[in-house]
Amino acid sequence: MNTEIAVLTEDNIDKKVIKRAGDILRAGGLVAFPTETVYGLGGDALNPESSKKIYAAKGRPSDNPLIVHITNMEALEKIVTEIPEGARILSQRFWPGPLTMIFKKNDIVPRETTGGLDTVAVRMPSNKIAAAMIDAAGGYVAAPSANLSGRPSPTVAKYVIEDMNGRIDMIIDGGDSDVGLESTIVDFTAGEPMILRPGYITKEMLEEALSTAVSVDKAIIDSNSKVAPKAPGMKYRHYAPKGELTIVEGSSEAVTEAVNGYVSEASLAGFRTGVIATEETKSLYRADSVKSVGHAGREDEVAHHLFRILREFDDEGIEKIFSESFADSGLGAAVMNRLLKAAGHKVIKL
């Protein structure tokens, strides 16, 4: 398949490109597009054939449901059986933006889109290219992250092209993703709100908006939990670079010293080595590739850079990667969730 590639910027959106993308989606084709979180791989959410194509293009298990992207509340009302009060409050506060909510679906949404579930995940993205494209497509775009299943989500078009060129109809390059991690997912279908995937909208922000406690799916907090996560996608190994990633936890000095030791051992054994460090610590490491994810304590910077850095290690053929650990409160909870998954939960505690 020949994949059309178009470059757009949010403040100067070429209407012809948007119309072309909308036409492709209405005809059942697939278009990858930028959002404020990560790039999405879009298809018409109300067309079961489009959803099947998405699973095929990603190589994704079809029991892993897709998020339906919309641009207004009327669109939401048409596809769910009810909108709980809490969801209404969060929609007013955080939509458009990096928040996904789970609702009970009605018959308009095909089960192919929801991985066979009676519930549907819905998000209203703030990226203007995404919004224009969703409207041009008829209002409902199902989109997982635009990576091959298991690989880190793409935050720049280069990596969408690497994974999807030749597999889908069109890729819209809209530059760098603002947030860099996928949306926060909140479930309202079991009564009390529960976070199924941490993201840029933190637990604290949700609790403040709702004036009530918000729980977090146990399967996410406890890596040893035998309970299946409530978001089916969270059970898969994810975000993984090709190299073997290990997180090293401890005081800053101890981590630097230990990581340099692990790096020397790995180098002696013939492996190409990488380190994930911060602006403050990057000069302290000796490895084939040392990358800074941002300033220490700035979890927003870490979120923004993490997935791109994991991909860059792949580009450089790095085989053993060691990462510093980050605080896991606030946005750090989302950062550590992704980093731990990328590492297959391999952590050395000093």
Determine if 145 is a binding residue for Mg ion (CB under 5 A): yes
Helix (H) or strand (E) segment spanning residue 161: helix 157-164
For Mg ion, how many residues bind (rule: CB under 5 A)? 1
Instruction: Please identify which residue in 232, 250, 330, 344 interacts with ligand TXA, judged by CB under 6 A.
Output: 232
Q: Which residues pair with 320 in a beta bridge?
A: 244, 273
- Residue 231 contact, options Mg ion, ligand TXA, none, Cβ 5-8 Å cut-off depending on partner type: ligand TXA
Per CB under 5 A, does 292 bind Mg ion?
no
Q: What is the DSSP string of 77-100?
A: HHHBS---HHHHHHHHHH-SSSEE
| DSSP secondary structure letter of residue 228 | P
- Dihedral sign for Cα atoms in the order 174, 301, 165, 168: negative
Q: Please list the residues that pair with 186 across neighbouring strands.
A: 101, 195
Give the contacts of 167 (CB within 8 A, at least 6 positions apart).
1, 3, 57
Distances (CA, A) of 43 to 24, 95, 136, 156, 281: 9, 21, 12, 20, 43
Among 46, 234, 247, 276, binds ligand TXA (CB under 6 A): 234
Contact in structure between 1 and 170 (CB atoms under 8 Å):
no
318's contact among Mg ion, ligand TXA, none, with CB below 5 to 8 A by partner kind, is none
Of 37, 50, 292, 325, the one binding ligand TXA by CB under 6 A: 37
- Candidates 53, 123, 203, 305; binder of ligand TXA (CB under 6 A) is 123
Residue closest to ligand TXA, measured at CB: 233
Q: How far is the CB of 274 from ligand TXA (least distance, A)?
A: 25
Under rule CB under 6 A, residue 40 binds ligand TXA: yes
Nearest-angstrom CA–CA distance, 32 and 39: 7
Task: Lay out the site mask for ligand TXA across 286-325 (x = CB under 6 A, - = otherwise).
Answer: ----------------------------------------
Q: Does 193 bind ligand TXA (CB under 6 A)?
A: no
Residues in contact with Mg ion by CB under 5 A are: 145
Residues in contact with ligand TXA by CB under 6 A are: 35, 37-38, 40, 64-67, 100, 102, 114, 117, 119-121, 123, 143-145, 182-183, 185, 196-197, 230-234
